Structure 1
Amino acid sequence: MYGISARPWGYEVSLVRNGVRYACLFGYASYGGPRQALRRAQAWRDIIVKEHPPVTRKERAQTLRSNNRTGEPGVSSRLSAQGKPVAWLAKTYLGNEETLRTEFDLADWGHAARTLAIGERQRQLARMVGLARLHPAEEAIRTRLSPDDEAALPPKRSKSEIVRRNNTSGVSGVQFKTPRAGHPGYWVAITYTAGQGSVSRSFSVRTLGYDVARDMAIAERQQQLQEKTTGDGASK
């Protein structure tokens, strides 16, 4: 996929525009699975492509290359066998195998040959139109309508909603723990708040039974999240 690379944990989007790299990560856990993460990655890539089109062909043609020795893009000198300039050349590739080329001999034009070549190069550039072609997918992305609006895209989960790999309940923030071998264990609901520590509550399997303790821990976790959201809103 253009601009999107699959990673073990999700997708990475990376595009370069005029020397600036635009990158963003979309993890499976953060968006609820591979399909949702890919939709988000594609939507973000499409926004970057549309908001940051490639430079025009004319702009790119005026970039000074590292092997240029004249200081003028598209303008070069033709040397004699002795290595001395004998002519100045203006050259521009327009595309479709069409190349404009005009030469000004020093024998005919003297020191004005270089100036004439520079002027001719500008006239050649005036015939160059369109954007630089980066990838076949670029044009299709820029011209098509977005398949998803923001409301239809899967939202990014908060850290408190992400189910970790070591989670045994299938519910974020709810875990089963056993303090020692032979202990029936307990279900615990825990919620962290940045800068404020954590809130937790345990439910004994011995007292409540395995399923009831689990269900109560899940309900407690939802209550903790609700109180956290209410508290965050009140503090703003």
Structure 2
Amino acid sequence: MYGISPRPWGFEVSLVRNGVRYARLFGHASYGGTQQALRRAQAWRDSIVKEHPPVARKERAQALRSNNKTGEPGVFPRLSAQGKPVAWLAKTYLGHEEILRTEFELTDWGHAARAQAVGERQRQLGRMVGLARLHPAEEAIRQRPPPDDEAELPAKRSKSEIVRRNNTSGVSGVQFKTPRAGHPGYWVAITYTAGKGSVSKSFSVRALGHDVAREMAIAERQQQLRDKPP
């Protein structure tokens, strides 16, 4: 999938626009499952593609590369065997098998050779049209209308809503624990608040029975979430 890489925990979206990387992670647990996380990842990727179209070819061609030593994109000297400039060149790649190249020798132009090459480079750029080519999927994404069910895309769950792998109840924040072998155990509702510690309450299986203790722990967890400070 263009711009989306599957990971053991979910999906990673990564796109580069004009040297800026746009990246975001979409975990299975955070969105309630694999398909939900993938839908969210695709929707975010599509929004980035539409909001940040590729630059014009001319604009990209005028970007100064790191190995440029002249200060002018597409303009560089031709050196003699002794390493001295003998000419200035203007060069522009327009497309497959279409490269514009003009040379201005110092013997003909003297110190004006460089300025002539700079002017020629600008004339060459005048023949360059269109946007920079990117992945073929981009154009289809830009033309595609928003999905009908866009408003129904799953929202990201808060940390308190994520069911961890070691959870035995199927409800976030509710766990079954046994202090020792042979003990009937108890159900625990626990809620953490950043910087403020945790609130917990246990419900004995011996006193209430397994199912009742579990349901009471679930109800307690819901109350804890309602009482949790924002």
Q: TM-score, normalised by structure 2?
A: 0.90
Q: Secondary structure at the match of 2:116?
A: helix
Q: Secondary structure at the match of 2:40?
A: helix
Query: Which residue number corresponds to residue 130 of structure 1?
Result: 130
Q: Following the alignment from structure 1 to structure 2, what is the Cα–Cα distance between the partners of residues 8 and 34?
A: 10
Q: Following the alignment from structure 1 to structure 2, what is the Cα–Cα distance between the partners of residues 12 and 169?
A: 29
After TM superposition, the structure 1 = structure 2 runs for residues 208-227 of structure 1, keeping only pairs within 5 Å, are 208-227=208-227
After TM superposition, the structure 1 = structure 2 runs for residues 1-236 of structure 1, keeping only pairs within 5 Å, are 1-81=1-81, 83-147=83-147, 151-228=151-228, 231-232=229-230
CA contact 1:30–1:162 (8 Å) conserved in 2:
yes
Shift, 1:101, TM fit: 2.2
- Give per-residue Cα distances to partners, 1:128-158, cap 9 Å, x unaligned: 1222223222222222223266522101111
CA contact 1:87–1:103 (8 Å) conserved in 2:
yes
Q: Alignment identity in percent?
A: 85
- Equivalent residue letter for 2:29: A
CA contact 1:43–1:148 (8 Å) conserved in 2:
no
CA contact 1:173–1:221 (8 Å) conserved in 2:
yes
- Equivalent residue letter for 1:209: G
Q: Secondary structure at the match of 2:117?
A: helix
Q: Following the alignment from structure 2 to structure 1, what is the Cα–Cα distance between the partners of residues 20 and 148?
A: 26
Shift, 1:197, TM fit: 2.6
Q: Following the alignment from structure 1 to structure 2, what is the Cα–Cα distance between the partners of residues 196 and 78?
A: 69
- Equivalent residue letter for 2:207: T
Larger CA deviation: 162-171 vs 105-114:
105-114
Q: Following the alignment from structure 1 to structure 2, what is the Cα–Cα distance between the partners of residues 180 and 161?
A: 29
- Give per-residue Cα distances to partners, 1:2-35, cap 9 Å, x unaligned: 2211111111112222222221111111000111
- Equivalent residue letter for 2:46: D
Q: Following the alignment from structure 1 to structure 2, what is the Cα–Cα distance between the partners of residues 22 and 151?
A: 23
Q: What count of residue pairs does the alignment treat as equivalent? A: 230
Q: Following the alignment from structure 1 to structure 2, what is the Cα–Cα distance between the partners of residues 13 and 169?
A: 32
CA contact 1:12–1:24 (8 Å) conserved in 2:
yes
Q: RMSD of the TM alignment (CA)?
A: 2.0
Q: Secondary structure at the match of 1:165?
A: coil
Q: Following the alignment from structure 2 to structure 1, what is the Cα–Cα distance between the partners of residues 118 and 179?
A: 82
- Give per-residue Cα distances to partners, 1:68-100, cap 9 Å, x unaligned: 343321122334455443332212111143222
Shift, 1:49, TM fit: 1.8
Shift, 1:104, TM fit: 2.4
What stretches of structure 2 of length at least 5 have no aligned partner?
A: none
CA contact 1:4–1:12 (8 Å) conserved in 2:
yes
Q: TM-score, normalised by structure 1?
A: 0.88
